[in-house]
Structure 1
Amino acid sequence: MENIQHSHVEVKGLKLHVAEIGSGQNAVVFLHGFPEIWYTWRHQMIAVANAGYRAIAFDFRGYGLSEHPAEAEKANLLDLVDDILGIVDSLSISKPVLVGKDFGAIPAYVVAALHPDKVTSVITLGVPFMLPGPAAVENLPKGSYVIKWQEPGKAEEDFGRFDVKSIIRNIYTLFSGSEIPVAGDNQEIMDLYNPSTPLPPWFSEKDLTTYASLYEKSGFRFALQVPYRTLGVDSGIRDPNVTVPALLIMGDKDYVLKTSGMKDYIRSGALKHFVPDLDIIYISEGSHFVHEQFPEKVNHFIIEFLNKQRT
């Protein structure tokens, strides 16, 4: 960890925080989800760098040590595409592999679909190919966290009952389960957390403190806007086609698989309509945070895939 270098890169007037380790022409750019940050990729960055790649992870705008846009309420998921392209250009990276987790998968695939000349391949964890739009939210239970967090003010009020560290603890614990966090009619998502539930064994108090320190700087304002409050907004992208090689890594116990239609979408072959050159790997007992839960397994699959692209 001490060999990871930190800097800031300016993209469209915003200073974005970048973490980097390794060197060479073959670069891997890691894209976090929520409630994550660049630090979520700590295991993968070191493994990839040791395998001879240049590993880069950054905080999306409004997250962690990156600056917020002036009008966060006008931001959407496609703004994150600008973050990726801006980072790649500023660091003089030629055709990286993009690795996206959770909502980070969405801009990764958009870049690959709209700018195939800019990427070598795409790896995603926990979320398959999907675009922002009504279809992304239409089958979700009304009490699911995605729906609950869409109403301005509600999540802020819910989160406001706790300090930042407790919020991260609560979300990490809830989202490590195999069921979608769904609140009842008179509940909010934080009400689902049982204080007697310990942190997952693969997530230490040190990890929690690191996450909390970064979210104390950024807060949750932008995170609630992007992705949650803009996930259902039509992207305007029609007939997307991802022609580059891709890999999807899913934990068998990932609650995302319980989303209506998701398991069938992945396993029926419908997903390959959009991403024809796709490999899918399931990790037994893996949760939504499979890359932190089973880092050695995930690292093996990522590096194996990277080496295939390099050869």
Structure 2
Amino acid sequence: MIFLRFPVFDTRAFLIGKDFGAWPVYLFALQRPGRVSGIVTLGVPFIPPGSRNFHVLPEGFYISRWKVPGRPEADFGRFDVKTVLRNIYILFARSEIPIAGEGEEIMDLVKPCTPLPPWFTEEDLSNYAALYENSGLYGPLQVPYRSLHKDSTLSNPKIQVPTLVIMGKKDYFLKFPGVEDYIMSGKAKEYVDDLEITFLAEGTHFVQEQFPDQVNVLITTFLNNHT
């Protein structure tokens, strides 16, 4: 998910991206730094190309499963769209990485009786399901899951514009190999000249839906400070 905001009388833009939407935002800033006033990303800091350590996770890791053509299609195809989305919101609102065991698929990790997160209503689910019933679920499998290997060949990448990263302290992404240390040790600041990272203590991977007012304040404050 990517948003653009152009300051008045300025040819540059603020770029805002969530999750995998953060990568095209960072890539644009690397390639066209003069067109960017600042960056906000939700859930994902800038991580240099080639630094992902997904290969050290078990075979049942959800990204490993979903990048295989046909496997998630068969997994999702056992359920209606609304059930698939329900399972995804339940799974990714947890603080543990979704990893299936032997003989399991990712959708099997959620029991039918498991309730939705309290901040995500049945009405929300119905509205999302209606959209995905029209578009289908398989476009998001192609981008990003089946294009992760197409890393940029940029050498010595460094973000040179003010950057705000908003993360939930209970985001499962922090459990990815090396991610928490990369952020907390200050290593992330080696690749971003002006980096601010804000954690919401109870936030999950869906921090923008869980705490929309707080996230909006953080974003608008950042925009005003750098316009």
Q: Are 2:2 and 1:31 equivalent residues in the alignment? A: yes
Match of 1:160 in 2: 77
The one-letter code sitting in structure 2 at the alignment partner of 1:186 is G
Match of 2:185 in 1: 268
1:267/1:299 CA distance change after superposition, 3 Å: same
Q: Are 2:198 and 1:284 equivalent residues in the alignment? A: no
Q: Are 2:44 and 1:127 equivalent residues in the alignment? A: yes
Match of 1:150 in 2: 67
Query: What is the CA–CA distance in structure 1 between the aligned matches of 2:108 and 2:94, rounded to whole Å?
Result: 16
- How much identity, in percent, do the aligned residues show? 53
How do 1:21-100 residues align onto structure 2 when only pairs under 5 Å count?
Answer: 31=2, 94-100=11-17
The one-letter code sitting in structure 2 at the alignment partner of 1:181 is P
Q: Are 2:207 and 1:236 equivalent residues in the alignment? A: no
Contact 2:61/2:100, CA 8 A, preserved across alignment: yes
Contact 1:158/1:190, CA 8 A, preserved across alignment: yes
Query: What is the CA–CA distance in structure 1 between the aligned matches of 2:51 and 2:137, rounded to whole Å?
Result: 23
The one-letter code sitting in structure 2 at the alignment partner of 1:301 is L
The one-letter code sitting in structure 2 at the alignment partner of 1:225 is Q
1:131/1:153 CA distance change after superposition, 3 Å: farther
Q: What is the CA-CA distance between 1:141 and the residue it aligns to?
A: 3.1
Contact 2:53/2:177, CA 8 A, preserved across alignment: no
Match of 1:249 in 2: 166
Q: What is the CA-CA distance between 1:237 and the residue it aligns to?
A: 2.1
Q: Are 2:186 and 1:215 equivalent residues in the alignment? A: no
Of 35, 42, 55, 1:118 maps to 35
| Corresponding pairs, count | 225
Q: What is the CA-CA distance between 1:232 and the residue it aligns to?
A: 2.6
SS at match of 1:282: strand
SS at match of 1:247: strand
Match of 1:198 in 2: 115
Of 20, 23, 26, 1:106 maps to 23
> What TM-score, normalized by structure 2, do the two folds share?
0.92
Query: What is the CA–CA distance in structure 2 between the aligned matches of 1:139 and 1:291, rounded to whole Å?
Result: 29
Query: What is the CA–CA distance in structure 1 between the aligned matches of 2:28 and 2:219, rounded to whole Å?
Result: 19
SS at match of 2:133: helix
SS at match of 1:203: coil
Contact 1:124/1:247, CA 8 A, preserved across alignment: yes
1:73-100 C-alpha deviation (Å, 9 max, x unpaired): xxxxxxxxxxxxxxx9xxxx83221111
The one-letter code sitting in structure 2 at the alignment partner of 1:245 is P
Contact 1:136/1:231, CA 8 A, preserved across alignment: no
1:139/1:272 CA distance change after superposition, 3 Å: farther
1:195-238 C-alpha deviation (Å, 9 max, x unpaired): 11111111111211121111112212221111011113332222
Contact 1:254/1:288, CA 8 A, preserved across alignment: yes
Match of 1:85 in 2: none
For structure 2, the residue ranges without an aligned partner over 5 or more in a row are none
Query: What is the CA–CA distance in structure 1 between the aligned matches of 2:58 and 2:223, rounded to whole Å?
Result: 37
Q: What is the CA-CA distance between 1:243 and the residue it aligns to?
A: 0.2
Structure scoring higher RCO (CA < 8 A, sep ≥ 6) equals: 2
Q: What is the CA-CA distance between 1:131 and the residue it aligns to?
A: 5.1
Query: What is the CA–CA distance in structure 1 between the aligned matches of 2:176 and 2:136, rounded to whole Å?
Result: 28
Q: What is the CA-CA distance between 1:142 and the residue it aligns to?
A: 2.2
